[in-house]
A = this chain, B = another copy of it.
Amino acid sequence: MNNEIVNVSLQILPIGEEEISLERIDRVLEYIGSTGVKYLVGPMETTMEGPYHQLMDIVAKAQDICFKEGAGRVVSVIKVDAKKTGVTMDEKIKKYR
């Protein structure tokens, strides 16, 4: 994949007790916030905007964080929207906000 701007969304589900899982998700969101990429926290997934490989590195590290925080299993649902000429989050949601 080239360096065009894509959208990558991540729904991360560390398997385990609900309260503990929610804390781990909070750690992941803090990490995403620290990366400096543009992102939007949604009710069912967090969407990021940037070059594909940069965002997928973040997705990999997000899963690592869940394991480091003690999860034994992590299920993730990742969506990618990639266009030859690049695609921003704004062009898709601006008229609805």
Q: State how many residues of chain A have any CB contact under 8 Å with chain B.
A: 47
Contact (Cβ within 8 A) B78 A78: yes
Contact (Cβ within 8 A) A43 B40: yes
CB A32 to nearest CB in B, in angstroms, measures: 10
- 1/0 per residue, CB under 8 A from B, across A9-44: the answer is 101010111100100000001000000000011111
CB A43 to nearest CB in B, in angstroms, measures: 4
Given contacts A44-B7, A45-B9, are A82 and B74 in contact (CB under 8 A)?
yes
For the complex of A and B, 8 pairs with smallest distance between CB atoms: A41-B96, A43-B89, A78-B78, A9-B44, A42-B42, A76-B80, A43-B47, A73-B83
A interface residues, Cβ below 8 angstroms from B: 1, 7, 9, 11, 13, 15-18, 21, 29, 40-45, 47, 49, 52-53, 56, 60, 63-64, 67, 71-85, 87, 89, 92-93, 96-97
